[in-house]
Structure 1
Amino acid sequence: MTAAPDREAERDAILAALVPVVDGIAVTFGPVCEAVLHDYRRPEESVVAVAGSVTGRTVGGAMSEIGMRVLARGDEAADELNYLTRTGNGTLVKSSTIVLRDSAGTVFGALCVNIDVTAVGQAHGILGALAGLGTAPDALPTTTFGNDIDSVVEAIVDAHQLRQHRGWAQLDRAERVRLFRDLDARGVFAVRRAVEQVAARLGISRATAYTYLSHARTATDPNPAGGTS
């Protein structure tokens, strides 16, 4: 019986074959384009190749919020094409994330293309104002692109808290479980040490964080033994 192929070697070969594609995409679309190749087997340093500079990514950098979301979906993840977002400094970016699978269908990485369309958006706003069509586009989500995985995790937690307009102490138990469920769905806890980091960011103990994460994943009564912290 033929032995199963070496999946790790296969994944390495796919990534190696895509490195020149990254360079080719960036050269084709010019200075407004950035192409990034990710290896999700290493979330904290997933960037294995990058060409262009739109989000400031560098080789050895961490995955973004988008990558965490793909990682959380596992093999159910699908390509995300032509979506708009903003970077932390306000750059308007049109992006596509194409998931990479091995021959078994397992998602292990992604090829991402980011195009700076800030100038296009400004021109659209000016033309729209002249035509009387309004000047303010719909609000776009801000995405954290960081080479440090800790900064990405912190940005996700902080954004969630801003949406709540309340700190941990002001949330009831159901809201706390919902917070952990939302963070889990966004792939935060797929990263090493994320539970400890989230706990520190929320000002709670690591044990409390693990308890709420357990409740979030099992949909049990969100009343951790020992109360809150």
Structure 2
Amino acid sequence: MSEVKHQLNHYIPIAKTIAHMFGSSCEVVIHDLTQPQSSVIFTINHHVTGRAVGQSFDHLVKEVLLSDEFDEDYLAGYEIKTEDARTIKASTTLLRDDKDQVIGALCINYDMSTVSHVKELIDKLVPGLAKEVPAASPKKSKDTLQSVDEIADRLIEQIISHQKGSLKKRQEKIELIRFMDEKGIFLMKGSVDKVAERLGISKVTVYSYLDELKKMKESEETS
């Protein structure tokens, strides 16, 4: 067992406690972000989103790291949608080692289906009782912005270093860029430059691969 996985295993009792506290609608997932392509190492109540050990992360970059509300290594209460249109209330906390490096993430996913039905019933019985007051979106601190950049750098490094292929062939590089694109890596500032440098190719080449992938996806959707 790797040292990182050994450290992350210490969070399993916490994950189980949360899941048992809030019941079967609450899924808790632990990710090993030093193994991005197969980051899920533990899950409980996985029927909520279908997360399984050996899968990769999904919402870490797009919903968490890029959120204006992400600060101090956590984001609580954001919403995601399942393929069957259920609303999931999610929270993510990054996990660091004793050297202050991000090594993992603990994610809580709560199926709001039952809660939504209860809310609808209350709204019908007592109209206007629950009025939501929009909260102001806090801006990320300078330390958090720097932390996000460091996490992005580390994710790119880990993704490339754990690629199974030799990365000498064009198709291997395209598939790697496809994975990073799907995970939202290229939405992060400076990521194209970093990936190009790490792969030993030009920025123009990275953009041409992304354009090729976009056209392939559009072709698949129309066929």
Unaligned runs of 5+ in 2: 133-175, 200-205, 217-223
Is 1:184 paired with 2:172?
A: no
Deviation at 1:125, TM superposition (A): 2.6
Indicate yes or no: 2:136 matched with 1:124.
Answer: no
Distance in structure 1 (CA, Å) of the matches to 2:129 and 2:212: 43
Whole-angstrom CA distance in 1 between matches of 2:211 and 2:129:
43
With normalisation by structure 1, the TM-score equals: 0.54
- Of 81, 95, 104, the match for 2:90: 95
CA deviations on 1:155-176 (whole Å, 9 max, x unpaired) are 96xxxxxxxxxxxxxxxxxxxx
Aligned residue in 2 for 1:66 = 60
- How far apart, CA to CA, are the structure 2 residues paired with 1:200 and 1:78? 35
User: What one-letter code is carried by the residue in structure 2 that aligns with 1:65?
Assistant: H
| Residues 40 and 71, structure 1, Cα contact 8 Å, conserved in 2 | no
- Relative to structure 1, is the Cα distance of residues 37 and 123 closer, same or farther in structure 2, using a 3 angstrom cutoff? same
Number of aligned residue pairs: give it.
Answer: 157
Distance in 1 (alpha carbons) for counterparts of 2:122 and 2:56:
38
Paired residues for 1:75-114 under 5 Å:
78-114=73-109
Aligned to 1:115: 110
3-state SS, counterpart of residue 56 of structure 1? coil
* 2:162 corresponding residue in structure 1: none
Residue in structure 2 matching 1:199, options 200, 211, 219: 211
Give CA deviations for 1:143-190 in whole Å, capped at 9, x if unaligned. xxxxxx96895496xxxxxxxxxxxxxxxxxxxxxxx96x235x8998
Q: Which runs of no fewer than 5 residues in structure 1 stay unpaired? A: 1-7, 138-148, 157-179, 205-229
One-letter amino acid of the counterpart of residue 49, structure 2: T
What do residues 39-58 of structure 1 show as CA deviations (whole Å, max 9, x unaligned)?
11111111000010211000
Aligned runs of 1:167-178 on 2, under 5 Å? Answer: none
1:65-122 deviation per Cα after TM superposition (whole angstroms, max 9, x unaligned):
225665789xx87211122332232212122111100112111110111111112113
- 8 Å contact from structure 1 (residues 99, 110) kept in 2: yes
Paired residue type of 2:101: T
SS at match of 2:30: strand
Does the C-alpha gap of structure 1 residues 89 and 134 become closer, same or farther in structure 2, counting only changes over 3 Å?
A: farther
CA RMSD between the two structures: 4.1
Q: 1:36 aligns with which of 14, 29, 39?
A: 29
Q: TM-score, structure 2 length as denominator?
A: 0.55
Give the SS at the match of 2:212.
helix
Give the match's secondary structure for 2:83.
coil
CA distance in 2, matches of 1:127, 1:80: 28
